Structure 1
Amino acid sequence: MAPRISLSDRFDSDRPVIGMLHLPALPGAPDSSGDRDAIRERALEDARRLESGGVDAILVENFGDAPFYPADVPAHVVADMTALASAVRRAVDVTLGINVLRNDADSALSIAAAVDADFIRVNVHVGTAATDQGVLEGQAHDTARLRDRIAPAVAILADVHVKHATPVGTPSLERVARETVDRGKADGVIVSGSGTGSKTDRGDIERAATELAAQDSHARPPVFVGSGVTEDTVATYFDAGADGVIVGTALKEDGETTNPVSTDRVEAVVAAARDP
């Protein structure tokens, strides 16, 4: 059950911090200003602040586009995200990831291939989840094959019991984690709380890490924390068995998700993550 792609060589730290780059609403979304220049400048300034603060990677996400398309986003979203991710790729020198909300893994892979990104995030990779976008079904069978065709070096990080969703049926977290990497061919898993900024249960991290280690103790796929990471909690997540963290809200001015990135907050979280 070893992962297809090792993530250990993608980060400069053995306790990597991935900073969220929440894009403002893109043109066509209800809350968009339609000003592409302003959107680009905001994205680049956030990226520079994340890099300056010391993150190991940046994850570009169309966070402002609510209400989200359930699966396939329109071509104009892919075009805008590709242009923005390409600009970020040129502006900073850190590992880069792409997430296309709500669950468009094909577009994420396509953007990643075009801009030379390193990984993608997939919210529902295997199984089925009831969400505010309706019922989402994992498309691992398509995603894994498309990755092989157009972006074989791009890693897949997939959520387990993703936030803002309820699993259909009663699959245990351990079972979903195992099947995400074993049958879904993801390279790592993400465990999060109930929503954006919500605390992730330490026990969930422990269970996912233990389950994956039991399946393949030689090369356990990495477990990332996907929400609720702050300066005060980051060390406890690593102690629970996490291999990396994804941080958004805690890095923003005044701790507000939609605010610009605060370099001081980034530095504080990174410093706490580095201190065992």
Structure 2
Amino acid sequence: MEPFTSEKPLVGMIHLLPLPGSTRYTKGGMPLIVNTALRDLEALETGGANAALVENLRDVPFAKRAPTETIAVMTVIIEEIMRKARIPIGVNVLRNDGIAALSIAAATGASFIRVNVFCGVAFTDQGLIEGEAHALHKLRNRLGCEVKILADVHVKHAAHLTTIEEAALDAARNNPDGLIVSGIGTGKRAAPEDLQAVKQVTPLPTFVGSGVRIDNLSTYREADGFIVGTSLKENGKVDAPIDPARVRALSEAIVGLRKGK
């Protein structure tokens, strides 16, 4: 699947420090935000990650749609990342601003986006969130870009009314480029049976989007890729920097998985 050049790609997370306008932002902190993101990018590349996904994870509490200052700042940061990156870069704008993510990607040359609620409805700590598949496709056509859309099925940090099979079929009908299965929260393991259920009802590439570690990797043999953050951090702590040694270890384990080991 484009833009990934490897089978079962490892997509490492770049969790940005709190951005201007967010509750935890420290005034004058933009140079630190950019440098920290670039350091994580270097660690991911050194460790052998196949792509990176940039996300405003530390902007809690989130708005349903990102404020204009968040969109502007993420564009600046991702443009800096794109200048240095040797691997494909993706964008996720929390809590659920696929329009902003797609716009940032188109402006900066990023290759893909993650959309937490692509279609249907999710009950979240931000309230009721509705999908925006139609608007995303319309914008992508209008921009004339080839940014790929990865859509969550039963996104984490949310409750859902449909079965995972129903949600996967609904998502597939709305034509994303790939799907994502995750656990109940950041760093929480996705149920292997959820991955299997999605793979049984749609041929779309399906990524595991949370909780992947070396010790459970073998339970996700059917996955088409892995989006990993927490277990790649120093001591497995979500707020820590990326540890290139952890990236290398998981990357090598995935190589073994590709070979059927």
Normalised-by-shorter TM-score class: over 0.9
Mapped to 2, the partners of 1:150 and 1:232 lie a distance apart of: 42
Secondary structure at the residue paired with 1:102? Answer: coil
1:176 aligned residue (167, 181, 185): 167
- Identical aligned residues as a percent: 45
1:223 is the counterpart of 2:223:
no
The 5-angstrom pairing of residues 155-174 of structure 1 reads 155-167=148-160, 169=161, 171-174=162-165
Report what 1:191 is aligned to. 181
Distance 1:149 1:44 in 2: 31
| 4+ residue runs over 2 A deviation | none
Give the counterpart letter for 1:199 in structure 2: R
Partners of 2:96 and 2:68 in 1: CA distance: 15
Q: Which residue of 1 aligns with 2:78?
A: 85
Q: 5+ residue gaps in structure 2?
A: none
Q: Which amino acid aligns with 1:64?
A: R
8 Å Cα contact 1:235-1:275 kept in structure 2: no
Do structure 1's residue 265 and structure 2's residue 246 form an aligned pair? yes
- Select the residue among 199, 210, 214 that pairs with 1:209: 199
Tell me the alpha carbon deviations over residues 126-168 of structure 1, each in whole angstroms, 9 at most, x when there is no partner: 110110011100111111111111153011000000000001x
Counterparts of 1:48-67 in structure 2, within 5 Å, are 48-67=42-61
Query: Matched residues in 2 for 1:19 and 1:93: separation?
Result: 13
TM-score, normalised by the number of residues in structure 1: 0.91
**2:150 alignment partner, SS class:** strand
Separation in structure 2 between the aligned mates of residue 258 and residue 41 of structure 1, nearest angstrom: 15
> Where does structure 1 lack aligned partners over 5 or more consecutive residues?
1-7, 213-219
Amino acid across the alignment from 1:50: L
Distance (whole Å) between structure 2 residues aligned to residue 96 and residue 39 of structure 1:
17
User: What SS is found at the alignment partner of 2:114?
Assistant: strand
Question: What pairs with 1:38-57 in structure 2 (closer than 5 Å)?
Answer: 38-57=32-51
RMSD across aligned positions (CA): 1.0
Cα distance change of structure 1 residues 189 and 229 upon mapping to structure 2, 3 Å threshold? same
